[in-house]
Amino acid sequence: MAEKIAVVTGSNKGIGYAIVKGLCERFQGKVYLTARDVTRGNEAVQKLNDLGFQPLFHQLDINDQTSIDKFKEHITKEHGGIDILVNNAAIAFKQDAKEPFGQQAEETIAVNYFSLLRVCNSLIPILKQNGRVVNVSSSAGHLSRIPSEDLRQKLGDKSLPIDLLSALMKKFVSDAKAGKHIERGWGNSAYVVSKVGCSALSFIQQRMLDNEKPCRNISVNAVHPGYVDTDMTSHKGHLTIEEGASAPLHLALDDHGLKEKYVWHDKTVIDWYGETPAIY
């Protein structure tokens, strides 16, 4: 039996770190903690070593295709593939950010959507039979957070291919740069658009994987981890990072049969196309 491998992106701190910790506790295999910064990644691994866990570290900058290629090459050479991929890495501008909104939109979509897509395009092909992909979305990633009904219909179209979803993400950026994002129905949050893109991408990926031949029985789900006390929330969140890791770990490890679902932090399945759920 080949050893099982789990990978968590952006996992040197916050929810990603807690997901690695939870995997080390429960997963019968090797767990990769990855980070853009090697020093911070190694420091996180040392913290987990001090707790008695033995995660592996590899540098991974999701914004850099060369970094992704090196990681994929390492995984393929050393392990032949992966069993669990948790896409956690993301950014968010603070409410008091001074950067123009067009710049915020461009950078947020670049990381939270296009870099996510880049990682998935590289690593989903090396997922093993019965592999699992967990895309960490947000309450902001619910379809109802997009004001325009027309845009909601386009983003929620179950025949939407990835290239057209990517075109919509680019359209938001161009509208934001032109100062027309509100009048064109996107709303006033680049983070919302990026995480709706993350959720929509998850469902498209599942439909594509269901149609591959031979089918590897891979599951892809999007998850809202909750309002967690992290740097990203300026430590305003009321959940601990371990509580934030609970639903992603449920999707990665438990026997639930879920595919193409949007899962809340309490592990309940939420209708992504329906009414806005309770905010957190």
State the catalytic residues.
191
Question: Tokens 């060369």 appear where?
Answer: 66
Angle, CA of 29, 268 and 145, to the nearest 5°: 110
Q: Is 185 exposed, middle or buried (0-12, 13-18, 19+ CB in 10 A)?
A: middle
Alpha carbon distance 85, 280 (integer Å): 25
Kindly give the residue spans of alpha helices, DSSP state H, lying in the chain.
14-26, 38-50, 65-79, 101-109, 116-123, 149-155, 162-177, 190-210, 241-253
> What strands, in cross-sheet order, belong to the sheet with 269-270?
56-59, 30-35, 5-8, 82-87, 127-136, 219-223, 262-263, 269-270
Is the separation of the CB atoms in 68 and 93 below 8 Å?
Answer: no
Output phi, psi for 139, to 5 deg. -60, -30
Alpha carbon distance 99, 190 (integer Å): 12
Output phi, psi for 87, to 5 deg. -90, 95
